[in-house]
């Protein structure tokens, strides 16, 4: 299995315990991170998602990222 797919499967299995490193790694695989005023923004395709940088990312940000990634593959 590809490294990208392994990380994606890991995020799908457990969105509550996602590290900042894994979250930003997934963003960089599908798009890029734009540093902003208060919070960074994940830019994937035409979608933009601001998020708060914390050691453990909140599950709402992870599920939103997974929804954006799923919309790209359709």
pLDDT digits (tens, 9 = 90+) for 20-72: 999 999 999 999 999 977 899 999 989 999 999 999 999 999 999 999 999 98
The whole model's pTM is what? 0.88
Strands 18-19 and 56-57: antiparallel
Predicted pLDDT of residue 72: 85
User: Which strands sit side by side in the sheet containing 47-50, from one edge to the other?
Assistant: 32-34, 41-44, 47-50
Predicted pLDDT of residue 1: 53
d(CA 61, CA 48): 12
Domain spans of the chain? 3-9+18-73
**Region 14-24: what's the mean pLDDT?**
92
Radius of gyration of the chain (CA): 11
Predicted pLDDT of residue 74: 60
Helix (H, G, I), strand (E, B) or coil at 42: strand
To the nearest 10 degrees (0 to 180), the angle between helices 59-73 and 20-30 is 20
Confidence band for 13, pLDDT divided at 50, 70 and 90: very high
């Amino acid at each position: 299995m590809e490294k990208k797919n392994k990380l994606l499967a890991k995020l799908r299995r457990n969105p509550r315990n996602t590290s900042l490193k894994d979250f930003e790694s997934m963003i960089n695989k599908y798009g890029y991170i734009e540093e902003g005023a208060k919070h960074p923004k994940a830019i994937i395709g035409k979608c933009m998602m601001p998020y708060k940088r914390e050691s453990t990312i909140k599950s709402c940000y992870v599920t939103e990222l997974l929804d954006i990634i799923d919309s790209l593959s359709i």
